Each structure stands twice: as C-alpha cells, then as structure tokens.
Amino acid sequence: MKRKFCFLVLAFLSVTGYSIAQYAKLYPSNWWVGMKWNKVQVLVYGDYDGFNKETVRINYPGVKLLKTTALENGKYMALDIEVASTSQPGEVVIEFLQNGRGHAVKWPLEKRRTGNGKTYAQGVNSSDLVYLLMPDRFSNGDESNDHVAGMRDQSLNRKEIYDRHGGDLQGVINHLDYLQKLGITTLWMTPVLENDQPNRTEHGYAFTDHYVIERRIGGAEKYLALSDALHKRGMKLIQDAVYNHVGSKHITFLDQPMKDWYHQWPKYTGTSYKDQPLFDPYASKSDAKKTVDGWFTTEMPDLNQSNPYVANYLIQHAIWSVEKFGVDGWRIDTYIYNDLPFMNRCNKALTDEYPKMTMFGETWVHGTAAQAYFVENKMDVPFKSNLQGATDFQALMYGIQPALKQDFGWTEGVNKLYTTLSNDFLYKDANRNCIFLDNHDLTRILSDVGGDIEKVKTGIAWLLTTRGIPQLYYGTEVLMKGEKNPADGNVRLDFPGGWKGDPKNAFTGEGMTAEEKDMQQYVTTLANYRKNSSAITKGSLMQYVPDDGLYVYFRYDAKQTIMCVMNTSDKNKEVDFSNFTERTSGYKAGKNIVTGVAVANKFTIPANRMWILDLSK
C-alpha cells in the first residue's frame, strides 16, 4: 500500500520531462566526487520488461556514460559511468527511454568525507585493542527496532540461542564509555548488512542487500552515528566484510543477473572447507575447485568473482562502505574460499583509495606455512597474496591453547606456542596478524581451559603483550562461558546488563561476582597499561626457549623493557635475570604492571601464573 502511494505522488514530479520514480535499484546507490575509483560500474535492476533495450542518457557536467551492457537476465543492466575530477556534488539523473516511455532515476554524487586518513580509513595496528561483539547480543538500546515489519525472520526470544535478541547499534553507542574505560580502541562487529533470511539472522554473515544496513540494529543512520561517536573518542571501526557468499534471499540470487553470477553445480556441492588444495603441489584441480567454488552452506551461495561484473560489484561495495561509513579497518570473512586473484585486486583497490587502510582475513587453517600463504609472506610460491594480515588461528590453536591446556613436553604445551611464533619468519609482518583467545565461532576461553580463571588471566596477559593486533571477544572480560559444541549459539549469549532488567549488569557492576569484577579490573589495568607502552605496542619481541613449562619473552625498545614470564607448570619456578642477560643486562628489578609489586632480579613465580614486569635499572 505504502509503495503504491509513493509511486503515485512521485509520478507527478517531473524532471527533464520524466517522472522520478524508484523504477530501478542502483548498486552502488551513490558515489562521490574526487575518488580514485572514478569509473563506476553501476548495476541497475528494474522490474519491468524490455529494460535491456532502453536507451540510457546522463546529462550532468563531468559525468559521462561510457558504456551500457544488458546482462543476460533482462532486468539487469551495467552502466559504466566516469566521474571527472572537475564534477561537482549533486543529483545525477539517469534517464531510461523506451517506446515513448521514460523513466528517470537519481544517482547522488556526494561530497567526500573530510579527513581521509586522519578521521577514517586510518588503519588498525598493533597499538590497538579490538573488541569483537555481535550487535544482536551486546545491548538492546532501542526496543522499537526489535521487529521490523515485512522481514522474514520475526523471531524475538532471548531464551532461544538462534532467535533474535534485540541488541542493536544504539546499545553499542550507549556503552562506548564502558569500552573505552576497559582500554578498547577499536570496535569490530559481526556484519551489519541486512540479512533478510528466514532464520539464523543473528550472526549477520548472509547478506541480502549490500546497500542496506540491517534495520533491526538501527540501519544506516545508527551505523553512521556509531562511526561518528567512535571517531569523536579517537576510537576506530572495523567492518566485517563477506565477499565469498551471500544469503539465499539476496536479490541477485533470487533474480540472478547472469547465469554465472554464482558458481553453479549439477547438484548441490559445498566447499570442502579444505585450504590445502590451493597450495599443495600434489593437489587435484577438482579439489581446488571444490574449495573455492563450492558453496559455504545451502543457504549461502558462492559468488563467482571471476565474472568481472561480480568483481566490480563487490569491489565497489567495499570502497562505498569505507567512504559512506568512515570505516578504519577491514576484516574479511572466509578468506581462503574466495578467488584469490580477485581478492588481490579487491585489497589493492581499497589500499589504492585509502593508503592507510588495513585488513586482515579469516584464515582458519592449520600450520603457519598454510596461513602465511594467504597473506604477504617471504615464501617463494607461485601465488603471492597482498593481504596484510590473518586472523591468527595458528597462534591460537598451536600457540596459546596448548600452552594453557597441555602438559609441557618437547613439542607440547608452551613449547607449541614458542615453536609457532618461531615460524613468524614466513610472514612479511606477523605484527599485522589479529590475535585472539576466542571469537564467535569458538568455545569461549574460560570454558576452553576448564573454568580455570588463572589460565584465562595468563591468556589475556599473553594476548596483550605478544606481537600482533589483539582482539578481545565481548564478555571474556566478565568471565562469560560457552561451549561451541553442540551449538555455536552458546558462545553468542547476551552480554550481562545489555537488556532492561538484567539481574547482572557488567556496565554498572550490579549483581556481579567478585571474580567477574576482578577480571574486568584485570583487563582494564593491562589494556590501559598497554596503550601507553611503546615496547608492547611497537617494540621488538625476543623469546627464550621454554624450560620445563616456564616461558619468558621480552618486549623492548629504546625506552623500556617488559619481561613477560609465563609459568604454565604446576610448580613454583625460580626466575633469574642472569639467564636472560641479552635483555636484562643493566636491569636490577621489575615491577608487576598489574599488582604494582616489585620483584628483585631473582624471584619466584607461583605455578600457573603469568607476570608482566616493567624492568628498572
């Protein structure tokens, strides 16, 4: 009803003799003047016959229609439009003329954001501390958006792990003080794009419209408000990008522009989730094809990125997102299942436009060599990736997890962590990897270490002192628990205090246990110390061979030396500066940066503890 009404009203408005009506959807929905990417391929979608035979006209100073291409499905057309550097912001009118009928569609040409590289697209680096949260599960700041009429998933039940819970961007905005006090500098949220799927919409990884921000979390207006609020505080925003697939209710899947817009198989074929065929010298081509062209799930069809129209569609959306919302960093989902040459082009387009922009890709693979293959590396391999960093599953699965969970051995326990970091020689810059103890796909750290709070503390101490960009998963700081099996929903529970009437409130401390408050304080102390430590955020790393479960490493620069002592054994351990003279020479004592307690150059660290010591002369 509403739609019809709009159409009737708009039909009376006349520009250059034609009605301005939403006959067509344009992707991207707008562009900017003064972009390096100034040849834009606009995908036009309209729901009437004969669209591909239209004559298209643009009459706007500095804007030139270079080419029109009718795609196989007559409802889509690609318009190659050049925007001259001399053009001015305004409303470009694209006219479609056919058989005496005329339609005109507005394509706004906007003024760019100010402060490129200073206030947005700044890049995220090892000086930052990233907080990963799921908007549906952090805080409900606006109950009016809990349901959006007409959307397929109308669920709303906090007791059901796969229903929607009502959390939103206003909820995040409301608690930026909390995050900043905790020591967080950067926010990464699971995807914020519309997921108009029938169910399982809580995670956001099944886009149904690239140009609509999920209305149930507040839409584009709130996303812009959040971005502004972060930047005002000197904080940064990472966007979670998905190039590999879309949701099965995406418009370009329901009504496909071309036969090869998606990878088609004679019968449903999922990806094998195997990365090995992509670099294995003995791999079969069919295995490699399955990895990359197989679908992520039956509800997440696989985009064919070797189709140039698909590639342009995705690349332009990435640039559009950064410019539109002022994004600072980019996290790329399911990196290994993408067409890798396409990803190189895509990454380059972003850094060409935004030289300081940084990105890391999800590389859930096994072994540093495999992970390094997908990022900038020092290996002599046929394919060279230009991705800056990985989500470092190696430092997790073959690093801190065994360090915390296994008994010490020649290759076990903390020796695994030591060994994995020693393989950093394969990366161009391991410091660009994003490191973590848990995330939305993994058992939460507290559950993973059997509820041992001291082990969580050791994990956090390591996370905030080793190399890389540390990422904290929401709720880890207040001892949230959750096992990934049998249901990943259990690691995506609501943050306490995010909803009206929550008996426990992590923002105010109400109803919190002493242990939970203690962990919150521990993270706050460490994270805020880290912020101001040049040695930890920018300095060098030196690690020593672990000895019977005792692992000692240093972060250091010209200004300070930080000694990190991880005792993973169940015995107290003697530590003597004289065993680490390369780094301790000239230093007489250290101060525990969490407790403030001083230690001499010989001290005992209790079993199952990690201390971070600021050394003094």
166 sits near Ca ion (criterion: CB under 5 A): yes
Min. distance of Cβ 143 from Ca ion in angstroms?
A: 6
Task: Report how many residues bind Ca ion under the rule CB under 5 A.
Answer: 6
Helix extents (H) in 365-450: 368-373, 393-395, 401-405, 414-422, 445-448
User: Is 163 tagged catalytic?
Assistant: no
Task: Provide the minimum distance between the beta carbon of 214 and Ca ion in the complex, in angstroms, as a whole number.
Answer: 11
The stretch near Ca ion (CB under 5 A) out of 24-32, 90-98, 110-118, 141-149 is: 141-149
Rounded (10°) CA dihedral 304, 310, 311, 313: -150
Among candidate residues 293, 333, 339, 438, the one labeled active-site is 333
CA-based torsion, 313, 317, 320, 324: positive or negative = positive
In the bound state with Ca ion, the residue whose beta carbon lies nearer, of 418 and 499, is: 499
Alpha-carbon distances of 228 from 327, 329, 356, rounded to whole Å: 10, 15, 19
Give the angle 132-135-139 at the CA atoms, nearest 5°.
Answer: 105
434-436 and 469-473 beta bridge pairing: parallel
User: Rule CB under 5 A: which of 190-219 touch Ca ion?
Assistant: none
Q: Which parts of 475-534 interact with Ca ion (CB under 5 A)? A: none
In terms of C-beta density within 10 A (0-12 exposed, 13-18 middle, 19 or more buried), how is residue 478 classed? buried
Judged by CB under 5 A, does residue 139 bind Ca ion?
Answer: no
Question: Which is closer to Ca ion, CB of 156 or CB of 251?
Answer: 156
Nearer to Ca ion, 204 or 546 (CB): 204
Q: CB nearer to Ca ion: give 140 or 347.
A: 140
* Binding test (CB under 5 A) with Ca ion, winner from 95, 168, 323, 424: 168
Q: β-strands 550-556, 561-567: how paired? A: antiparallel
Residue for token pair 């939103």: 168
Which range in 166-174, 181-189, 297-305, 548-556 contacts Ca ion by CB under 5 A? 166-174
Q: C-alpha 40: how far from its chain's center? A: 25
Check residue 174 for interaction with Ca ion (CB under 5 A).
no
Beta bridge partners of 555: 541, 562
The helix or strand, by DSSP H or E, that contains position 454, with its residue range, turns out to be helix 453-463
CB of 89 to Ca ion, least distance (A): 34
Using CB under 5 A, which of 87, 125, 140, 584 touches Ca ion? 140
Residues 420-449 that bind Ca ion (CB under 5 A): none
- Identify which range of 101-109, 135-143, 388-396, 572-580 contacts Ca ion by CB under 5 A: 135-143
**Binding segment toward Ca ion, per CB under 5 A, in 29-37, 163-171, 435-443, 539-547:** 163-171
Q: Give the nearer residue to Ca ion in terms of CB position, either 3 or 159.
A: 159
Regarding 145 and contact with Ca ion (CB under 5 A), the answer is yes
Closest CA to 443 of 400, 480, 406: 480
Least Cβ distance, residue 210 to Ca ion (angstroms)? 22
Question: Candidates 80-88, 129-137, 138-146, 266-274 — which segment interacts with Ca ion by CB under 5 A?
Answer: 138-146
Least Å from the CB of residue 255 to Ca ion: 30
Of 362, 392, 477, 516, which is the active-site residue? 362
Nearer Cβ to Ca ion, position 167 or 277? 167
Choices 139-147, 276-284, 287-295, 310-318 (CB under 5 A): range interacting with Ca ion = 139-147
DSSP codes of every residue in 480-491: -----SS-GGGG
Residues 75-134, interacting with Ca ion (CB under 5 A): none
Q: State the DSSP string of 262-278.
A: B---SS--B-----GGG
216 - beta bridge partners?
none
Beta-carbon contacts of residue 72 (< 8 Å; ≥ 6 apart): 257, 258, 259
| Residues facing residue 362 across a β-bridge | 391
Interatomic CA distance for residues 320 and 298, integer angstroms:
28
Cβ distance to Ca ion smaller for residue 143 or 510: 143
- Which segment (143-151, 179-187, 230-238, 416-424) binds Ca ion by CB under 5 A? 143-151
Q: Is 614 a catalytic residue?
A: no
* Residue 286, CA distances (Å) to 278, 363, 406 in order: 11, 21, 38
Q: Which two tokens stand for residue 120?
A: 């947005």
Q: Which is nearer to Ca ion, 162 or 265 (CB)?
A: 162
**In 28-135, which ranges are E strands?**
31-32, 39-46, 55-58, 63-70, 76-83, 90-98, 101-110, 130-133
In angstroms, what is the minimal distance from the CB of 145 to Ca ion? 5
Q: Is residue 210 a contact partner of residue 319, using CB atoms and an 8 Å limit?
A: no
Q: Does 146 bind Ca ion (CB under 5 A)?
A: yes
Task: Report the C-alpha gap between 245 and 254 in whole angstroms.
Answer: 14
**CB-wise, 86 or 144, nearer to Ca ion?**
144
Q: Name the minimum Å distance from CB 501 to Ca ion.
A: 15
Residues that bind Ca ion (CB under 5 A): 140, 142, 145-146, 166, 168
* Catalytic residue IDs: 333, 362
